Amino acid sequence: MHALDVDWDHPADPLPGPRLDHVRAYVSTAGADGHLWHGVPTLLLTTLDRETGRTARTPLIYGEDADRLILVAAAYGAPHHPAWYRNLAAHPEVRLQVGAASFKATARTATPAEREIYWEAMTALWPAFDDYQAAAAPRELPLVILER
């Protein structure tokens, strides 16, 4: 499926629970409620599901560097990459909502050099990423670079 054939404006909601509540609050308030979560910035990432062809939306902590946004594919330290990361690896065209702004972006996995640079900034933002990395070992948590 090509990104032009996707209904990016009507993604599937995440599973019921806190993530769904976060997404609904974020969308209904244009990010006024939800952009800051536990004191850190979050965005809504919409990916094309690699198996179903439907869109899926996920709230994620992000960092910034100039025009780049950075994500950590942590999955709370699970042994496998999160579904959203596997989706964007298959289909790198994504849609983002950052606060009130919505736009398209292209995602890619950070190079080893970029990961080394950004890892410290991301763990300073959310120290639990270090715990997630320890729990996920030997899986290295990928960093994702998003660019317009």
pLDDT one-digit tens code per residue, 60-86: 999 999 999 999 999 999 999 999 999
Distance (Å, rounded) from C-alpha 115 to C-alpha 133? 13
pLDDT at 141 over 80: yes
Q: What is the pLDDT of residues 12-22, one digit of tens each?
A: 666 668 888 89
More reliable by pLDDT, 33 or 1: 33
Phi, psi of 74 (to 5 degrees): -85, -45
Chain-centre distance of CA 32, in angstroms? 18
3-state secondary structure of 51: coil
Candidates 26, 66, 36; CA nearest to 147 is 66
pLDDT at 123 over 80: yes
Candidates 48, 55, 45; CA nearest to 145 is 45
Average pLDDT, the chain: 91
pLDDT at 110 over 90: yes
- The tally of CA atoms less than 13 A away on the side-chain side of residue 125 is 19
Q: What is the pLDDT of residues 34-45, one digit of tens each?
A: 999 999 999 999
- Select 3-147's CATH number: 2.30.110.10, 1.10.10.10, 3.90.1150.10, 1.10.287.1770: 2.30.110.10
